[in-house]
Amino acid sequence: MDTTVAHCSYHPSQLDKTIYYILTENYHYGSKLFQAGSMCYLKEHIYLQHISRISTRMWRFVMEEDGSVVTMDVESLQPLNERMADFLLAISDVQERLNCFLDRQVLDAAMKAEQGQQVLVDLDDQIFPATICYIGKFHKSPLPSGAYPIYFGVKLQGDGEGKGHCAGTYNGTEYFKCKPRCGLFLPFNKLQFLPASENDKVEEKAEQKVEGIMPVKMGDTVGFYLDDTYTRGIALEVYKKGNDWMVKVCPEEEGSTDVFRDIPLDSVVKEELLSLDTDSGLQEYLKCKRSESTENLENKTRSLDVNSVVQINLDKGNAVTGTIRWIGCLPKTQQKMAGVELDEEKGLSDGEWQGMRYFTCPPKRALFVRLESCQPDSRFQGNKGLFLESSAFSDVNSPAVLSNSPPLRNDVAVNVLKGRMRGIQGHCNSCYMDAALFSLFSCTSVLDSMLYKPPLPADGHIQEILRDKIVNPLRQKGFVAAKSVMDLRYQLTEKGQSSSFVTSEKDPEEFLNLIMHRILGLEPLLKLQSGRLKEQECYCYQIFMDKQENLVVPNVQQLVEHSFLTSDLKLVEIPSCFILQMPRFGKEYKMFSKIIPSLELDITDLLLDSPRECFVCGDVATQECSACFKDKMFADTGLKQYCDSCCSQAHSHYQRKAHQTTKLRIPKEFGQGSRRDGVRVPREKLELFAVLCIETSHYVSFVKYGPEKENWMFFDSMADRHGDENGYNIPTVTLCPEVAKYLEMPVASLAMEQPRDMEGVAKRLFCDAYMYMYQNKKMELYK
C-alpha cells in the first residue's frame, strides 16, 4: 500500500519540494473570496526566501483550485505535509475539507489504512459495510501543484451490493475487480475506519450476510427485548445518537402509537430473520446484544460522578452541557438521577426539586435528569472532542509529560508558542486561569517551586496536574488542551474551596491565593510592614491610593511608590516575585485610562532597614520625608530621602519647614560619607515578565519573552472559536513588537493617543492592565 501511495504522490520536481497550506479562515483577495478550507502551495526555495526575511508575513502562494497567485498573511494558514495534502485534496467541499483537517482522527485513520481493511461507507445517508481494495490516484493529470489526490476504491457488501457505480474501473482503467455496481471510488471523509477488533466482526457478519447488522428501514417489523420479554414492534425511525445507531420502535403489544422505545440498533433484528430461529439462536443473539448494550450503558454511567462535565441531548437534536452536582434518587423515582448545573440559563431551578434543595447554583441553571441521559462532554473526549489544528496535537488525551522542561525564551519561545492553537485552550469561563498560568510559567521559572516543592498532605495530585499536564506540555509542545485545565478546576472544586471553580468566572488573585496558599502551602511572596505594626504576609499586592491630579498617565513605578507611601508600607525582604494589582475596582472602573509598564521596578527605597541614597547628592540617606514626595517642586518619581546636610538645606525653605521627617536606620558598612569613600548604595530592581489585562470580563495576557523592548507576545485562550454551542475555542499566541513604539513615546504624546488608533494589541496592554508580574532573578534561586 505504501508503494502505491508513494507512486501516486509523485511530484514533477523532486529537487524543489512543494510545501502545502490550508486556509483556516475566509480570505478576500481583490474581487475573489477564497473560503476557509481552500488549499495553496509554494516551492521550497521560495519558502526559504520568505523565512529568511522575518520582517514580513505576507507571502505569495499559488491557489490549488485555480492556479492563481495570491499574496496572503501566512498567519491565516496552517502548514500541511505532502501526504496529508494528497488525502485532503480529494475532498471537493472546502468546509468539509477544513473539518476533516481539524478533526484529525479520521485523517490519521485514512493515512494508516491498508488494502483489505473493513470500513463503513456513507452512501446517500445510509451506512453499508465495505472492503478497501485500492488506495491511490485515478486522475490522469495532476492538479496545478503536481499533486494527485488520493482516493479509496471500495467493494460494497451486504445490503450495499448493487448500489455502487462500477466494477472497480474508472475512466476505462481497472484499479481492482469486483461484481458490477459493487465498486465505488471515494475520498476518505465518506468512510468510517473501524478499529482492528471491529474489522473482524464486520467481515464475519458480511460473509454470513446477516442483514441484522444493517440499519433497519422505517416501517420494518423488528424483534427486540423489552423488560426481559421478547417482543415485536414497528420501526418508526432510524437515527444516529453520537457514535451509536438507534431505532425508535413502537411495541406491538402497547397498542398505541403514543408509546415509543429508543433501542440500540444492535439490539433489534428485522422481520425477515424472525422466522429463521425465533425461539432459540436468534433470541440468544438478541439477549447477547442486549447484555452488551446494558453493560456499555453501565460502564458509561459508572464513569460519571459528581463534578463530571456532561452533555445532555434534548429534543430536536439540541444539546446542553453542564456539571453534575448531585447523584441519587428523587422521591417517587427508582432510577438513579443526576442534578446538573448547566453552563447556560436553560434549566428549571437553582438546585431545588419539589421544595427540596439538592445543590445550589444560579437561577435557571439546574436540571434534573436520568443519569443514563448524561454523556461525557464530547469536547473533552480524545476522539471526537477537541479538534486540533496541528499534527503535533492530534492526541488530546496523550499521557502526562513527565520530563521537566525549562521556560521558553527568545527564538525558542517564538518557535514553540507562536500561532493558532497555541498556549492554553479556554473553556467555560476559564480565561482568568488560562491567562494566569500562561503568564507564570511559559517564559519564566520564578514560581517553579510550585511545581516541585512538597505539597500539603493529600494535595499532590493537584501539583501533578499543574506540572505534568499543564506546564510541561506548554513548554515542550506549546499547547495545553482545555481538558487539562478542567482537571485542575475539578480538583480545586473537590477540595471544597469553591463549588463554582469548574464553571464560574473568577479573579486571577482568587485562584493564585488558593493554589499557592491553601493547596500547595507556598511561602508568601511578600512580607510587608506598616510603621511599627506586626509584619504582614501576602501573595499579591493591591495598589490603593487617592486620585493624583498630577498623574495623568502614570507608570507602575509611580503607582507603587504612591501606594506604599499612602499606606506607610515597607518591604521586609526582597521578593522573588512581586505581583501587583492595579488601582481599579471591579471590572469596570479604572482610576487611570492608561498605565505605562515599567520594564524595571526599582524597590531600593521600598525596603525596610536597607541602605538608601540621598536623592540630592547621592550619599547615604539618613532622613526620609513623605511630604517632600508630594511636593510639586520635586520630580514625580522616587521617594525623597536625604543625608543630614541636604535634609537641612531642603527644609530651610519656608514652605517645607513644617515637614516631619523620619530617621532611617543605616547599616554599619554604609556610614555617613560612604559616597566619598567610594561605597555606593546598591540598587535592587525587579524585572517585568508578564501583564494580565481585562476587558469586558475577559482576561488575556502579555508576556515578555526576551530582553529587547520589542520582545512581547500576546496570549488569548479564546481568540477564536470553531463551531457553535458544541464547538471549541482556539487559543492564539501572537507577537506584538508594536508595544515598543508606545513604551518609547513621550508621556504627553501617549496621553493624547486615542486607544482605537493604537497599533495591534498595544491598546490592551496600556489601557486594560489588571495585574503586573515582576521577578528578581537573584532571589528566585533561594525561594
Query: Which residues does the annotation mark as catalytic?
Result: 431, 698
User: Which helix (H) or strand (E) is 413 found in, with range?
Assistant: helix 410-417
**Residue 730 Cα distances to 390, 406, 473, 480, 501, angstroms:** 12, 25, 17, 11, 21
Q: Do the bridges between strand 169-170 and strand 151-156 make them parallel or antiparallel, or are there none, so unpaired?
A: unpaired
Name the residue among 508, 482, 502 with its Cα closest to residue 361.
502
CB 234 within 8 A of CB 219: yes
Distances (CA, A) of 112 to 1, 2, 106, 131: 10, 9, 10, 15
- Measuring CA to CA, which residue among 554, 611, 562, 595 is closest to residue 694? 595
Pairwise CA distance, residues 420 & 313, whole Å? 31
C-alpha cell recorded at residue 534: 506586626
- What's the distance, CA 85 to chain centroid? 26
Q: Are 693 and 764 in contact (CB under 8 A)?
A: yes
Amino acid at 406: P
Which position has the grid cell 499574496?
A: 71
Calculate the alpha carbon distances from 505 to 154, 429, 487, 697 in Å.
Answer: 51, 5, 16, 8
| Inter-residue contact 38 to 93 (CB < 8 Å) | no
* Pairing of the two strands 479-480 and 423-424: parallel
Asked if residues 511 and 432 have their Cβ atoms less than 8 Å apart, the reply is yes
Burial status of residue 623 (CB atoms within 10 A of its CB: 0-12, 13-18, 19 or more) = buried
Element (H, E) at 563: helix 556-566
Classify strands 32-34 and 39-43 as parallel, antiparallel or unpaired. Answer: unpaired
The one-letter amino acid code at 105 reads Q
669-695 in b/e form (b: 16+ CB < 10 A) is ebeeebbeeeeebeebebbbbbbbbbe
SS3 assignment, position 95? helix
CA distance 80 to 67: 18
Q: How far is it, in rounded angstroms, from Cα 39 to Cα 22?
A: 4
Residues 6+ apart with CB under 8 A from 36: 23, 24, 25, 26, 94, 95, 98
